[in-house]
Homo-oligomer: A and B are copies of this chain.
Amino acid sequence: MEIERKFLVKSIPDNLTSYPYRHLEQGYLCTNPVVRVRKDNDSYELTYKGKGKMVREEHNLPLTKESYEHLKTKVDGRIISKTRYMIPYQEYTIELDIFENDLAPLILAEVEFPSVEEAEKFIGPDWFGEDVTQSKKYHNSTMSQM
């Protein structure tokens, strides 16, 4: 199970490049359920996500570079590219996604929680904007099809 909330941001932290980051490239073979292929720096995976917004069943399964490149030819819509910064905040990690190419200048922040209770009581930093956890529009799977 993955329990997470997603936010728009009003501004980005000044010292962004001081945080660790990864480059992500991903596409969708199917959106309901989600069947996604992703390149995460130099590793590759197939992800399955069941129904739900804040709480979703999720499986991450390893791919080789070759199988990723093969499955990438089968995706619907666009390949999403983004840089993900990992920013410590309280006992959590904010994943700040800076989207590239035609989804720029979109920026989204995600936070994952160990329980629904913690997710519900979470208050983000000042630079967080609207909570879009319940909005299908900001699912990467939706954005891949726009």
- Within A1-47, the residues touching B (CB, 8 Å) are 29-30, 32-33, 35, 46
A134 nearest CB across to chain B (Å): 22
A50 nearest CB across to chain B (Å): 8
How long is the Cα–Cα vector from A59 to B29 in the complex, in angstroms?
A: 17
Instruction: Place the interface of chain A in its size category.
Output: 10 to 19
Answer whether residue A70 sits at the interface, using C-beta atoms and an 8 A cutoff.
yes
| Stoichiometry, copies per complex | 2
Is A64 a contact partner of B32 (Cβ separation < 8 A)? yes
Answer whether residue A48 sits at the interface, using C-beta atoms and an 8 A cutoff.
yes
List B contacts of A137 (CB < 8 A).
none
Answer whether residue A74 sits at the interface, using C-beta atoms and an 8 A cutoff.
yes
A72 nearest CB across to chain B (Å): 11
Residue of A29, A62, A63 ringed by the most chain B CB atoms within 10 A: A29
List B contacts of A59 (CB < 8 A).
48, 59, 61
Is A29 a contact partner of B71 (Cβ separation < 8 A)? yes
Q: Pick the contact of A67 from B33, B64, B70 — CB < 8 Å?
A: B33
Listed by A's residue number, 6 A-B pairs whose Cβ atoms lie within 8 Å are A29-B29, A30-B70, A30-B71, A32-B66, A35-B71, A50-B62
